[in-house]
Structure 1
Amino acid sequence: MTKTLLLLANGFEAVEASVFTDVFGWNQLEGDGTTELITVGLHPQLKCTWNFTVTPEFLVSEVNLDDFDALVIPGGFEEAGFYSDAFDARFSKIIRHFNDNNKLIATICVASLALGNSGILKGRKATTYNHPTSIRRRQLANFGANLVDAPIVVDNNIITSSNPGTAFEVAFLALERLTSKENCHKVRELMGF
């Protein structure tokens, strides 16, 4: 059984988190049953970008990071306070722990900026929100990342993506990495993909 930490920041996009809960949940019931997803945050209640309130299962201070095999982080909106949590020292410490132990880290959209802020993307390939009007790609490059113009970028243990539309593919890629290609294909097919 693998355990994945779903790290949630205030202002995260619910849809970007829900793809992980759904894909990993489908795997629990219909796939090989070997994945467990645990929601963790800095606060007892978190408000999503569009005012949906979520109660994480645990606070960051209540978990042992060594118990987890993977880290996944959904992106969010600056206007909803996403970067206050995503750039918090506790977030960065968690990200560095997973990277230092070469464990899988998967992010959606602007969550890659949290990785950049933690320092783990220096000299590594990554992407982030890619709309032509957005400043996020420049911000990611300023963190030292080698910016790649692709929907999803994989650099060893790190998966980054360019927008919310990539969310399901990131979740499936994480599932494949944690289980197998065959198991992931089965879950995708059962979910209608």
Structure 2
Amino acid sequence: MTKVMILATDGFEQSELMKPRDNLNKAGIETTVVSLESGEIKGWDQKDWGKSVKVDMTVDEANADDFDALLLPGGQMNPDILRMNDDAVQLVKDFADAGKPIAAICHGPWLLAEADIIDGKTVTSWPSIRTDLMNAGADVVDREVVQDGNLITSRNPDDIPAFSKALIEKLGAKVNGELESA
């Protein structure tokens, strides 16, 4: 079975974790939520705290070798916290070094910049971090979904269906039914 690691912590944009996860699961892809601490992480739902998600394993227990791809949801707080954690950044580097797909949406590409894997790559993101991505050497465009090698990036919750479809197809699976959106 195809396995995708979802790397997130408190403050993830709720729709950007839950909807792609649901879409992947509907396509027969197993998802595992990895975070900094065990227990649960709390989502951010537009303007206030949202639902919590169970953490399946912590970053110090996780190994990129055990997964086929990495999903990085956005939210302003989530990737900002993760990029300050050496183990989380190393996981992103490990997926990149292995040539495995990495899908990042909204503020999620901050982790790609922190892992120093976007120099010379074409990506997209939430508008407020585009300068950071350009400063890390990326060619930043404003499109629903961008694929460059093993990287898949999208801008915001409205892009979730295209983002999910790109990752599902990259993994060689088939989209089953209508894709969940924000």
TM over 0.5: yes
The residue that corresponds to 1:164 in the other structure is 157
- Give the Cα–Cα distance (whole angstroms) in 2 for the partners of residues 128 and 65 of structure 1: 24
Aligned to 2:6: 6
> How large is the Cα RMSD of the aligned pairs?
1.9
Conserved 8 A contact 1:10-1:85: no
* Structure-2 separation of matches of 1:155 and 1:26: 25
Query: Residue deviations 1:118-162, cap 9 Å, x none?
Result: 1000111111113xxxx3111211122111222211101000111
Instruction: Give the whole-Å Cα distance in 2 for the aligned partners of 1:82 and 1:148.
Output: 20
1:32 alignment partner in structure 2 = none
SS in 2 for 1:40: strand
- Take 1:192 and 1:39, find their aligned partners in 2: how far apart are those partners? 18
Report if the CA contact (8 A) 1:9-1:86 is conserved: no
Deviation string for 1:75-113 (max 9, x for gaps)? 0124xx640223422221011100101001001111011
Partner of 2:73: 74
Give, as a single letter, the amino acid of the residue that structure 1 aligns with 2:110: L
* 2:128 equivalent to 1:127: no
Corresponding residue SS for 1:19: helix
Corresponding letter in the other structure for 1:103? K
For the pair 1:43 / 2:37, whether they are aligned, the reply is yes
TM-score (norm 1): 0.83
TM-score by length of 2: 0.88
Indicate the structure (1 or 2) with the bigger Cα radius of gyration: 1
Return the structure number with greater strand share: 2
- Aligned runs of 1:52-67 on 2, under 5 Å? 52-67=51-66
The structural deviation recorded for 1:2 is 1.2
- CA–CA distance in structure 2, aligned partners of residues 43 and 147 of structure 1: 32
Aligned to 1:104: 101
Q: Give the aligned residue type for 2:69.
A: A
Residues 32 and 56 in structure 2, CA contact (< 8 A), matched pair in contact too: yes
Q: How many residue pairs align between the two structures?
A: 176
User: Which letter maps to 1:9?
Assistant: T
Letter in 1 for 2:98: N
| Counterparts of 2:180 and 2:83, CA distance in 1 | 32
One-letter code aligned to 1:88:
N
Which one-letter code corresponds to 1:41 in the other structure? S
Structure 1 SS opposite 2:107: helix
One-letter amino acid matched to 1:43: E
Q: Any stretches of 5+ residues in structure 1 without a counterpart?
A: 29-34
What is the aligned-residue identity percentage?
31
Question: Among 83, 88, 98, which residue is 1:86 paired with?
Answer: 83
Bigger proportion of residues as helix = 1
| C-alpha distance 63-82 of structure 1, shift in aligned 2 (>3 A) | closer
Q: Distance in 1 between matches of 2:79 and 2:63?
A: 24
User: Which 10-residue stretch deviates more, 151-160 or 83-92?
Assistant: 83-92
CA distance in 1, matches of 2:21, 2:156: 18
